[in-house]
Structure 1
Amino acid sequence: MSVIVVVGTRPEIIKMAPVVRELERRNVGFVFIHSGQHFDYEMSQVFLEELGLPRPHESFRLKNSNPASQMGEMMIKLEKALGEHRADKPSVMLIQGDTNTMLAAGLTALKLGLRVGHVEAGLRSYDWRMPEEHNRRMIDHVSHYLFAPTEVSKRNLLEEHVWGEIFVTGNTVIDAVDMYFDRIEAVEEKVVQQLRFDEYVLVTFHRAENVDDPKVLRDFVRVLRGSPMPIVFPVHPRTRRRLQEYGLMGEVERLDNVQLLPPQGYFEFLALMRNCRVVMTDSGGLQEEATHPRIRKPVLVLRNSTERPEAVMQGFARVVGVNPVVVLAELEKTLKSGVELPGVSPFGDGRAAVRIVDSVLSRLGT
């Protein structure tokens, strides 16, 4: 018996790292596949090595960037690759999250008669503008095993009457922070020394529905300009392209209260988060990482919805939208209030990977 583990983007690699390491710890055979959605194998190899993960058995270079073409290409390449691993007798494919290649992987597995296990099942933003919302719903409805991170996620799945079996496991992102915390501490001093500010707000902004809209992007620049506390802003490649395209990059570079940084590594970014006062972001994963007991930062979500309501319910996050007047008012209130955050994460206790592997092995009779 062999398990197939498919990843493609950096968040997927981070969140599946604890599962891969747990499979290794138990000597469970697995086939590790990198879909190549965000970057090719050479570019990702350093990142995989940094996390102590094995070299993928298969790694693709996807030529298409159009979502439909990309999914079709992924399905063709994955079917061929799985055919070459028939001797491994794979019986379940584990996929994580809600990207195009994860949906393609899930559909391919289904058509080939493999069972599908969806890690981080049941997240819902109820915002149909988000392509991720389409993907995660479809993945959940073709999955045999649904590894919901929280009871809220489980309730979403039950309300949709999914036919697969649901397990509440916690989120593997908490496992990952636990697993790599020594590495985060090791780079912390160097990361902080590069900053111009002693106190700062950490900002990320990259989602297509935000940065591809010139009005929203101009409003975002107004937020940067008007922030009552200095800002540290690692600039995502998509965001940099749009700032340049809309003639805003020069204005951002001239802001004295903003320090621009290149995209950061996983350890470096978490070190930045540990030392900031507030996180402002449109990222989903950061809403989870900020709740880890050794990070514990308030988050202002620069979106109109979130698929992580648990962070809001526990007081870690507030959904503030993208209107600069509202965002700046909420930021000032957060900086002044000094809210005491919970000492435990709503996303689990760091044993999600153990529960996921336990469930897979029990259902496969191993």
Structure 2
Amino acid sequence: MKAKQKIVVVAGARPNFMKVGPLFWELARLRAAGADNLPEMMLIHTGQHYSDNMSEAFFRDLGIPEPDENLEVGSDSHARQTAAIMVGFERVWLRERPDWVVVVGDVNSTAACALTVSKLGGRLAHVEAGLRSRDRSMPEEINRLVTDVLADRLYTTDVLADQNLLAEGVDQAKIRLVGNIMIDSLARGLPKARSLAVAAELGLAPGAYAVVTLHRPSNVDAEPSLRAMWLMLGELQRRLPVVFPVHPRTMARLADFGLLGLAKGWPGLRLVEPMGYLRFLGLVADSRLVLTDSGGLQEETCYLGLPCLTLRQNTERPVTIAAGTNHLVGLEPADILAKVDQLLAATKPAPNPPPLWDGHTARRIMADLLAG
């Protein structure tokens, strides 16, 4: 009989949590079905995000088991945080000596654990491999490049990601097109999320408000760029109500730059605390459109068939543009508002998710890992 495997799964920051949950659900499904020789699977939380509404609430919402260990690295500079994760994870790997380490996404935890595993001679699998913005000013792009170079198994979301890896010289034998694991979480959580009626709780009619998220340093860390986005929201709230769950980083900058006072004359703008996964999903699912600089929201709105305006100059998820839901609008307020007007006058697009964005990506990943 084949020896029982040990798999260590790493989560570090909010975007990771909805990508690791489905792997544990799939293991539970296999156990319930009576499958033999299933792996021991451990969850390591690096603690890169550590406040309740940025991490623990997601574990509760997603039904993810409590982490076997939390490295509790907290926030710091990129260098210090990456180094702290490497030191902590090296200790975990040497103690457990797993057959596979699975990392997801593109945060510092992803690259730090990839470096550690590779130097220790372990096997590394990267879920969400091959995404590229081709903008190395983004820390996430550096993390993607480093992780994909080191990975022994690269699980991709779409054919464009496959093409990126092949163009970079990655051996095709390492690449597996499995679909988007975040959609597994979305499909499973959507009925419960909608039942929470978050829009009604906020006094909003479904399909009649916009949701905004802003957190990328290029948009919020410099006063001119944040002021431009803030004034754009002041104009947007004249068109339809706007709900803005404010990332802690963004709220700090709004306060630092003295911008919060401007919103006193904007009754249509609602600033709320960051939400847990299900509440935020319900809010987004019942919205009319989304404005964001997030990567994951581009994918979620694609699956839901919601118009998404991406407030960036580039995207690592061009497949969502090809699907017709995502619009790369840049950072000029006039261009953003013109696109909003166009979309509000148009019929909402039908959902058109890419192939294999079907809620069964974790099943394909687990089958591949178990095959060795």
Under a length normalisation based on structure 2, what TM-score does the superposition of the two structures give? 0.91
Q: Secondary structure at the match of 2:101?
A: strand
Q: Deviations over 1:147-189 (max 9, x none)?
A: 01000100000000124600000010111112222321331x2
Residue 279 of structure 2 is matched in structure 1 by 268
- Distance change in 2, residues 1:284/1:184 (3 Å): same
Q: Secondary structure at the match of 1:120?
A: strand
Structure 2 matches for 1:104-253, cutoff 5 A? 104-163=112-171, 165-187=174-196, 189=197, 191-198=198-205, 199-227=208-236, 228-253=239-264
Conserved 8 A contact 2:53-2:274 = no
Could you list the runs of 5+ residues in structure 1 that have no partner in the other structure? none
Structure 2 residue aligned with 1:61, among 72, 77, 81? 72
- Distance change in 2, residues 1:76/1:230 (3 Å): same
Shift of residue 346 of structure 1? 5.4
Conserved 8 A contact 1:299-1:316 = yes
- Output the amino acid matched with 1:66: S
Could you tell which deviates more after superposition, 265-274 or 339-348? 339-348
Conserved 8 A contact 1:34-1:41 = no
Q: Secondary structure at the match of 1:290?
A: helix
Shift of residue 343 of structure 1? 4.2
- Give, in whole Å, the separation in 1 of the partners of 2:341 and 2:318: 22
Q: Secondary structure at the match of 1:30?
A: strand
- Output the amino acid matched with 2:315: T
- Output the amino acid matched with 1:172: I
Structure 2 matches for 1:288-327, cutoff 5 A? 288-292=299-303, 295-327=304-336
Q: Deviations over 1:210-241 (max 9, x none)?
A: 10021111111121111122211111111110
- Distance change in 2, residues 1:241/1:40 (3 Å): closer
**Percent identity between the two aligned chains:** 38
- Distance change in 2, residues 1:284/1:322 (3 Å): same
Could you list the runs of 5+ residues in structure 2 that have no partner in the other structure? 31-37
Shift of residue 93 of structure 1? 0.5
- Give, in whole Å, the separation in 2 of the partners of 1:278 and 1:175: 22
Conserved 8 A contact 2:127-2:156 = yes
- Output the amino acid matched with 1:252: A
Shift of residue 40 of structure 1? 6.5
- Distance change in 2, residues 1:349/1:82 (3 Å): same
Q: Deviations over 1:197-221 (max 9, x none)?
A: 4311111111111100211111111
Conserved 8 A contact 1:141-1:162 = yes
Residue 58 of structure 2 is matched in structure 1 by 47
- Give, in whole Å, the separation in 1 of the partners of 2:75 and 2:273: 26
Conserved 8 A contact 2:49-2:74 = no
- Give, in whole Å, the separation in 1 of the partners of 2:62 and 2:275: 15
Conserved 8 A contact 2:187-2:359 = yes
Q: Secondary structure at the match of 1:94?
A: strand
Conserved 8 A contact 1:40-1:61 = no
Q: Secondary structure at the match of 1:340?
A: coil
Whether 2:17 is the aligned partner of 1:13: answer: yes
- Give, in whole Å, the separation in 2 of the partners of 1:340 and 1:135: 33
- Output the amino acid matched with 1:185: R
- Give, in whole Å, the separation in 2 of the partners of 1:100 and 1:319: 25
- Distance change in 2, residues 1:63/1:52 (3 Å): closer
Under a length normalisation based on structure 1, what TM-score does the superposition of the two structures give? 0.93
Cα RMSD (Å): 1.8
Shift of residue 16 of structure 1? 1.2
Q: Secondary structure at the match of 2:302?
A: coil
- Distance change in 2, residues 1:40/1:24 (3 Å): farther
- Give, in whole Å, the separation in 1 of the partners of 2:265 and 2:368: 53
